[in-house]
Amino acid sequence: MRFTHVLSTALLAVGLAAAPAAADPSPSASPSGDGGAPTQAGTSFRTATGIEPGQRATANGSTGDYLYWSFAADAGVRPTVRATVKLPATHAAQTWQVDVYDGLRRRQACQYGAQTRTADAGSASVDLACTLRTVRAWSEPWADDPLPGTYYVRLTVVGLQPSDLGQPVGAEVRVDSKDVGGAAAVDGSLAEPLVPGIAVTSRQHQEGSSESAVLSAVEPDGGWSSGWWSDRWVWTALGGALAALAGVGGYALTRGSGRPSRVPPGA
């Protein structure tokens, strides 16, 4: 009975310690509303318009244009890009595609989602979606895994009739990031996230100063974690505590009463 009471108290203490971290994992950036959402898109990687997770960015363009947006994704999140193209009233069949590139401008494969769709003649709009693999804190140099940094969204038409080229269209893009947590945690991390750098051209830098390059201002709320913390640490500690308690309990149950099993002759 005494051991059961001690075990229950210890489990309760460990549960209370782990509950805040388990119930409140590092959240992705919360939607900031559409009030300050961008209303235009870039035309290249260098001019991509930055958007926050949860924002609904809009832009006007023409069929044949390349529209670019950028967003930040940290380790442990799974980004999902959704795009809607509003088509003109009269048009032939058109095929639209949304692509996502990482900070090294490597095209990332979609884990699931309709990345390419064909709109029938006269359709009012077409919806696209691309869910990436979970961003890893570290990866082998030869691998193509998503890594923390800036990601680029490119929206364009890949198949249309020449008569539809240049017609006005409207685009809506939204990026949502799901926090996967410790299930995707790996050992190791990048020295710096994969974000575009701006060379320092000051006189001090030209004279050999050690001043570092300025990184892009696009980053998650709270800065880059680079995978140093995840709820895997909580469950590892919980497992270790349970193993220790199980060892103590097993010893208490098997050691006996501490008295000899029988009285020696002549005692």
Longest dimension (CA), the chain: 114
**In angstroms, what CA-CA distances link 113 with 18, 160, 213, 217?**
35, 22, 37, 29
**Would you state the structure tokens that stand for residue 254, as one six-digit string?**
């098997």
Indicate if the alpha-carbon torsion angle 206, 207, 208, 211 is positive or negative: negative
Residue 172 exposure: Cα atoms within 13 Å on the Cβ side: 10
Mean pLDDT of 154-175: 94
Mean pLDDT of 172-191: 74
Convert the pLDDT of each residue in 201-251 to its tens digit: 333 444 454 444 334 456 776 667 644 555 555 656 677 778 888 887 777
Q: Given pLDDT bands bounded at 50, 70 and 90, which one contains residue 146?
A: confident
Residue with tokens 């469950």: 235
Fold of the CATH domain 21-215: Jelly Rolls (2.60.120)
**pLDDT score at 230:** 55
For the chain, the structural domain boundaries read 21-215
Answering whether pTM is above 0.75, one says no
For residue 97, give every residue at least 6 positions away whose Cβ sits within 8 Å of its Cβ, in sequence order, or none.
115, 116, 128, 155, 156, 157, 158
Percent residues over pLDDT 70 in the chain: 64
Convert the pLDDT of each residue in 3-50 to its tens digit: 444 444 444 444 444 443 333 333 333 344 455 889 999 999 999 999
Convert the pLDDT of each residue in 250-261 to its tens digit: 777 887 655 555
DSSP 96-145: EEEEEE-TT-PBPPEEES--EEEEPTT-SEEEEEEEEPPPPS---TT---
Residue with tokens 């008569």: 163
The rounded Cα 21 to chain-centroid distance in angstroms is: 19
**pLDDT score at 259:** 55
The rounded Cα 217 to chain-centroid distance in angstroms is: 17
**pLDDT score at 191:** 66
Mean pLDDT of the chain: 75
Convert the pLDDT of each residue in 52-111 to its tens digit: 989 999 999 999 999 999 999 988 889 999 999 999 999 999 999 999 999 889 999 999
Tell me how far apart the alpha carbons of residues 139 and 145 are, in angstroms, rounded to a whole number. 7
Mean pLDDT of 120-130: 95
Q: Are 74 and 225 in contact (CB under 8 A)?
A: yes
